[in-house]
Amino acid sequence: MTDDFNALFMQSTSTTSPVIRLANIEKVYQTRTIETVALSQVNLTINRGEFVSVMGPSGCGKSTLLSLMGLLDEPSSGTIEIDGRPVTSYSDKELAGLRNHKIGFVFQSYHLINDLSVLDNVEMPLLYRPSIGSSERRRRAIEALDKVGLTARTKHFPAQLSGGQRQRVAIARALAGEPEIILADEPTGNLDSVMGEEIMELLLGLNREQGTTLVMVTHDEQQALKTQRLIRFFDGRQVA
Amino acid sequence: MLRHLFTLMWNRKRANGLLILEVFMAFVVLFAVGSTGVYLWRNYQAPLGFAYENVWQINLNSGSQPRAEQVATLQRVLAKLRTTPGVEVVSRTEDTTPFSYNGNSGNITTGTGDTQRRTEEADFYSGGPELREVMGVRLVAGRWFDRRDETPTRRPPVVITEATQAELFPDGQSALGKVIHYGFHENQERVVVGISGPYRAGGELSEPRSALFGYISPQDTTTALNTLLVRVQPGTGAALAKRLSDDIRLTSGGRWSSDITTLREQRLSKLKVLLTLPAVLGVVCVFLLVNVALGLFGVLWLNINQRRAELGVRRAMGATGAAISGQVLGEILTLTTFGLVLGLLVAAQFPLLGVFNIKAGVYLTAMLLATLGLYALAAGCAFYPSRLAAGIQPAVALREE
Ligand SMILES: Nc1ncnc2c1ncn2[C@@H]1O[C@H](COP(=O)(O)OP(=O)(O)OP(=O)(O)O)[C@@H](O)[C@H]1O
Ligand SMILES: [Mg+2]
C-alpha cells in the first residue's frame, strides 16, 4: 500500500505544477425543504508550494470549498483533479490514502474525538499508516504538539481544554502526518492575536522550509496579506 | 492499533459496561443450555445395554389372595405363560424395570478396613435366570444365574457390570469369585459369578453408572412376585396381550388381574416426561438469546449512530471503510471477550465445585460451545452495524457535532 502511494505522490516534483484543480464546480446542498447553492462556477487551481488564503463573508461557501479540496465531500457537478488526475478515477481506498498521506485538514470546529486524549487525537492520522510504529507515532505527535505549544497538555481530554487550545490540537493533528497539502479552515479564529501570530508564523515556515502547499480560510486581512495569493468569495462565487 | 482500541474502550468504560453485562448474560444462558445439552447428549450416546423391542412388562395384581398362596399361583402362571405360543422367555423381576420410575441404588463395596473400596452411587437390579435372555444383556465374563444357584448358600450370587468391576478393582483384577456387599443388607456377603455389559434401566437420558444384578431364585417367596418381563416373538401384538391376560386370570382361578405394557411404550412416555423440562427451558433460552441478541444489536447500532461524527473524522483523517468496520468489529469482539472472561470465571466454578455431581468434562465442553456460540452471536450482531460504520462518509464529519 505504501509503495503505491509513494509512486502516486512522487510523480510530480516540479514546483509550479497544479496540485489541486477545480473546474466548473457547483455544490448544492439539498435538504427536505430548501436547496442551498453553496458554490457555483468555481474554477480554481492551487499550485504546488503555494500559500493561498480564502476570504469572504459568512456563509459564502469557504468551508464547502475546503471540504471539496480535502476530498471530504463530492461536488454536485464539475471536476476536481489531484495531481492532474480526476478524483472520480480514484478508488475509495486510494482516496483514503490521499486524505491520509497527502492532505492535512484543520476543521473550523476542530472535530476532535472526545474520548481520546490530546496525544491520541494527534496520533490519529498516523494510526492509519501501517508502516509507522507506535513509538514513531508518539514521537511525531509530541513534535507536532510542541510546534503549537501544547506539550504540557498531552494527557488532557478535549473537554478539559479551552477553545483556543482545542484549535491548536486540531492544527497539531494536521501537522503530525507531515502532509504535502494543509487545508486550514480559520485556524486562528479562536486564538488571541499573539497566539494567532505564532500559528501564522508556523504555517509560513512550513510553506517556506518544507514547501507545504497551504490553503487557509481567514477573516484576518493582515494574515491574508502575508500569503502569496488571496481569493475572495461572495455568495458561492469567486470574486477575486 | 490494538492499543488504540483498548485506550478508546477504556475511556468509554461506562457505556461499554452495559455491553459487557449483556454479553455476560448471553454467556450464562448459553452455558446453561450447553451444559444441559451436552449432559443429555453424552448420556444418550452411551449404550443402553439391553434390547427393549419385543419385550413386555406384565404387572400382576394378586387381588385379595393371601400371600402364602401367591407363590404357588405365580408358578402356575409362569408355567402357563412359558408354554404359550408367541412367548419366548419370561423372567421374574422387581419393579426396577427398564424405563420405569422406580430405582434402587446405593454404594457397592468390597474388602474391609483400609483396603475397602466402594463405588459411587450404583443401580441395583434383580432378576431370575431368564432375565439375561429376556433383556439381551451381554455377558462379558463368568456366567449368568442358573440351576447351580438354586441350592441355598451363605453367599448368594451376583452379576456386576464391567463398570462396577472397574470401579471396585481399578488395578484390572477380575471380580469373578470376589465377595462384595451392597444395599440394605450391607452385612450380607455376595459372590460375583458374572460380569455383564452395561445396563441402564433409567433409559437413554439417564447417567451411565455402575450397576449389578441380584439373584431371584425360582423358589423365592419373598420378592419379585408382581412383575414379569416377557420377550415375545416379533410381530405379535394385541391378540397375544389379550391371551396372556386371559391366561393369567384363568390360571389364577379368576383372582389375578394383569396389566401389560410394552417397553417401547414405556420408553416413549418416559422420554416425553424427561424431555419436557429441557424443551421448555430450551424455548425459554432461545427467547432469552433472541432478546440478548436484539439488545446487543440495538446497543451496537445506537453506538454506531452516536459515533457517526467520530467515525466521519476518522474517515476524513484517512481511514478506509475496511479499517472502520475492522475497528468496530475489533471493539465488539474485545468487549465480547471481556464479558466472556467474566462468564468463564463464573462457569469455571461448576466443574471446580462439582455442582450437581456432573462430570467436569460436561461443563468444559459446554464452556467451549458457549464461547464459540457467543463469538458467533457477537459477530452476527455486529455484522450490520459494522457495515453501517464502514459506509459513513468523511463528509459526515462536517455535519455532525
Ligand atoms: N450540510 C449542509 N446542508 C445544507 N446546507 C449547508 C450545509 N453546509 C453548508 N450549507 C450552506 O452552504 C452555505 C455555505 O456554507 P459554508 O459553511 O461553506 O460557509 P462559510 O463560508 O464557511 O461560512 P463561515 O464563515 O460562517 O464558516 C451556507 O449557506 C450554508 O447554510
Ligand atoms: Mg466556514
- Comparing CA positions, the residue from A40, A48, A39 lying closest to residue A17 is A48
Residues of B in contact with A72 (CB under 8 A): 316, 394-395, 397-398
Atom of ligand 1 nearest to the CA of A67: 18
User: How much distance in Å is there from the Cα of A29 to the middle of ligand 1?
Assistant: 9
Instruction: Of A223, A104, A72, give the one whose Cα is nearest residue A172.
Output: A104
CATH T-level fold of A49-73+88-238: Rossmann fold (3.40.50)
Whole-model pTM?
0.70
Nearest CA in chain B to A91: B320
Residue owning grid cell 508502516 = A131
Q: Which of B157, B168, B152 is nearest to B191 (CA)?
A: B157
Chain B residue closest to A94 (CA)?
B320
Q: Which of B291, B377, B273, B268 is nearest to B34 (CA)?
A: B377
CA of B238 to the centre of ligand 2 (A): 93
CA B169, B175, B180, B184 torsion-angle sign: positive
Chain-chain contact of B316 with A111 (C-beta, under 8 angstroms):
yes
Within a 13 Å sphere around the CA of A40, how many CA atoms are in the beta-carbon half?
11
**Single-letter residue type at A166:** R
Q: Report chain A residues whose CB lies below 8 A from the CB of B317.
A: 99-100, 105, 124-125, 128, 173
Closest residue in B to A175 (Cα) is: B317
Q: Tell me how far apart the alpha carbons of residues A16 and A203 are, in angstroms, rounded to a whole number.
A: 20
Q: Where are the domains of chain B?
A: 2-46+277-400, 55-273
Ligand with an atom nearest the CA of residue A62: 1
Q: Which residues pair with B192 in a beta bridge?
A: B158
Indicate yes or no: CB of B316 within 8 angstroms of CB of A97.
no
By the 8 A CB rule, do A40 and A22 touch? Answer: no
Query: How many Å lie between the centroid of ligand 1 and the Cα of residue A106?
Result: 16
Residue nearest to atom 27 of ligand 1 (CA): A58
Domain ranges of chain A: 49-73+88-238
From first to last of the 401 residues of chain B, give the pLDDT tens digit.
777 777 877 777 777 787 788 888 888 888 888 888 888 888 898 899 999 899 999 998 888 888 888 888 888 888 888 898 888 999 999 888 989 888 888 888 888 888 888 888 899 998 889 999 999 999 999 999 998 888 888 889 999 999 999 988 888 888 888 888 888 777 888 999 999 999 998 888 888 889 999 998 888 877 777 889 999 988 888 888 898 888 888 888 888 888 999 999 999 998 898 888 888 888 888 888 888 788 778 878 888 888 888 889 999 999 998 888 888 888 888 888 888 998 888 888 877 776 777 777 788 888 899 899 888 888 888 888 888 888 888 887 777 65
Do the Cβ atoms of B317 and A173 come within 8 Å? yes
Q: Whose CA is nearest to atom 6 of ligand 1?
A: A29
Rounded-to-integer distance, Cα A212 and Cα A182, Å: 7
- CB of B108 closer than 8 Å to CB of B192: no
Nearest-by-Cβ selection for A115 from B1, B8, B315 = B8
Q: Closest Cα to atom 5, ligand 1: which residue? A: A29
Distance A107 CA to ligand 2 centre (A): 9
Q: Do B321 and A71 touch (CB under 8 A)?
A: no
pLDDT tens-digit profile, chain A (240 residues): 444 554 444 444 445 789 999 999 999 998 888 999 999 999 999 999 999 999 999 999 999 999 999 999 999 999 999 999 999 999 989 999 999 999 999 999 889 998 899 999 999 999 999 899 999 999 999 999 999 999 998 999 999 998 889 999 999 999 999 999 999 999 988 888 888 998 899 899 999 999 999 999 999 999 999 999 999 999 989 897
H or E stretch covering B385: helix B360-390
Pocket of ligand 1 (CB under 6 A): A 29, 31, 36, 38, 56, 58-64, 108; B 399
Smallest CA separation from ligand 1 atom 2, residue: A29
